[in-house]
Amino acid sequence: MRVVVVGAGPAGMAAATTAAGAGAEVVLVDSEPAAGGQFLRGRARFAHPGVTHLTDTEAWLVEDGTLHLRGPARLRFDALVVATGAYDRPLPFPGWDGPGVITAGAAQALAKQGVALGHRVIVSGTGPFLLPVAAALRELGATLVGVYEASSPTRWLREARAVAANRHKIAELAGYRKVLARLETRTAVVAKHGDRVTVAKLDRDWRPVSHRTEHADLVCTGYGFLPRTDLVPHAERTGDFLDVDDHQRTSVGNVFAAGEVTGIGGADLAAAEGVVAGAAAARRDPPREALEAVRRGRLFARALARVHAVQPGWRTWLEEDTTVCRCEKVSLRDLPDATGMRELKLTSRVAMGRCQGRICARNAAELTGVPFDGQRRVIAVPIPLGELAALPEENQP
């Protein structure tokens, strides 16, 4: 049988290795030149005799038992594991679409290539991922003006069970001693004009209660993550993340999901989910240790989601002319009253540009009160028409 795994991060590598170990023919498809995903970017050494690793390859559609790849090419599968990961959710503020603002993930990716894009940098957002980003920038010689966490860490006190089951996560924090000295909680960047950055103290709903000015040439921002679930637009989900059963099965037949597409809980949870998904995809019982690691990791992931949930006060950070949709240059004042996402898009063009709403759709929905139904796109990556035209006719073998 053939198992196809999409995404070569911690989850995908574990799924591919496990499925191959169980005797399946495995193809690992990834859009990057080397395995590792964003977490291990360029530092993973992936090689397995039972796995064919297709690098620099983008998948764009799942159709019954076929995965469509750019090229074009088609891959038949008996089971598919979606391990496509997640990307930073930015929140808009005046100046976020100007020079010197990038996502925390972008800063991390650049840092892994030895590049810090600024000299005086601020990291602003929510969640523990801000700390390694700040540490990486500092190690490259940048001056860390501040690390601003919008949430309040005392919320962790209510999560004793998750903390007790995941003590190693707390121990990791000690490694960030030097950047923790620059950490301010209930704080966020709420505007940037040139190098003048407006920093606000926030109330519990993230409404600014006081302001001050800092000087920085780079702001790195990230308010949690949005999963890349485009390959299975019809799969059931809760919030943004794919629903899976205890064998990582999605609601779509023969399609499994592992890693951050199911929730954010770190690389160890992703790898454990990959082991479970890889075994189940190859029709084996998943190892007990992996199932137990997933159970423990999910406790942490759910606590993380609660503690670092985006609070509605962010909507007061915008001015009328603040950009919401970067692709189509739609500002707050351009957003109409609408009853649904479709009407919102058609009347304002928000989420209709090149990124197809990946960056702005969720924010636009929250700004207008329109129900957000997850990221559902029919085609996962833009494809030139010539490539579609090169596809063989349906009725030919």
Q: Does 351 bind another protein (CB under 8 A)?
A: no
Contact residue for another protein among 73, 115, 170, 173 (CB under 8 A): 115
Using the rule CB under 8 A, give the single segment among 22-30, 106-114, 141-149, 299-307 that binds another protein.
Answer: 106-114
Pairing of strands 79-82, 86-88: unpaired
Helices (H), the chain: 10-21, 37-40, 104-112, 130-139, 160-165, 167-174, 177-180, 267-281, 288-307, 341-348, 361-368, 385-389
Q: Going by C-beta distance under 8 Å and a sequence separation of 6 or more, which residues neighbour residue 289? A: none
Q: Does 228 bind another protein (CB under 8 A)?
A: yes
Please check whether residue 60 is in contact with residue 70, taking contact to mean a CB–CB distance below 8 angstroms: yes
For the record, the structure tokens of 302 come out as: 């759910």
Contact residue for another protein among 91, 101, 216, 299 (CB under 8 A): 101
Contact residue for another protein among 201, 326, 349, 377 (CB under 8 A): 326
> Taking Cα atoms as reference points, which of 225, 232, 246, 364 lies closest to residue 301?
225
Give the E-state strand segments of 216-332 in sequence order: 218-223, 225-227, 237-238, 241-242, 255-257, 323-325, 330-331
Contact residue for another protein among 17, 18, 38, 248 (CB under 8 A): 38
Total residues at interface with another protein (CB under 8 A): 33
Q: Does 386 bind another protein (CB under 8 A)?
A: no
Binding mask 52-91 for another protein (x = CB under 8 A): -----------------------------------xx-x-
* Three-state secondary structure of 98-154: CCCEEEHHHHHHHHHCCCCCCCEEEEEEECCCHHHHHHHHHHCCCEEEEEEECCCHH
> Taking Cα atoms as reference points, which of 50, 72, 71 lies closest to residue 5?
50
Q: Does 114 bind another protein (CB under 8 A)?
A: yes
Distance (Å, rounded) from C-alpha 169 to C-alpha 280?
Answer: 27
The tokens 């930073």 sit on which residue? 88
Q: 117 vs 122, which CB is nearer to another protein?
A: 117
Q: 191 vs 276, which CB is nearer to another protein?
A: 191
Q: 112 vs 207, which CB is nearer to another protein?
A: 112
Q: Does 353 bind another protein (CB under 8 A)?
A: yes
Question: First vs last Cα of the chain: how many Å apart?
Answer: 20
Q: How far is the CB of 103 from another protein (least distance, A)?
A: 5
Q: 162 vs 352, which CB is nearer to another protein?
A: 352
Q: 315 vs 358, which CB is nearer to another protein?
A: 358
Q: Does 33 bind another protein (CB under 8 A)?
A: yes
Q: 113 vs 395, which CB is nearer to another protein?
A: 113
Q: How far is the CB of 265 from another protein (least distance, A)?
A: 19
Contact residue for another protein among 9, 92, 100, 374 (CB under 8 A): 100
CA torsion sign, 159 to 160 to 166 to 172?
positive
Q: How far is the CB of 359 from another protein (least distance, A)?
A: 5
Residue ranges binding another protein (CB under 8 A) = 31, 33, 38, 87-88, 90, 97-103, 105-110, 113-115, 117, 228, 326-327, 353-355, 358-359, 382, 384
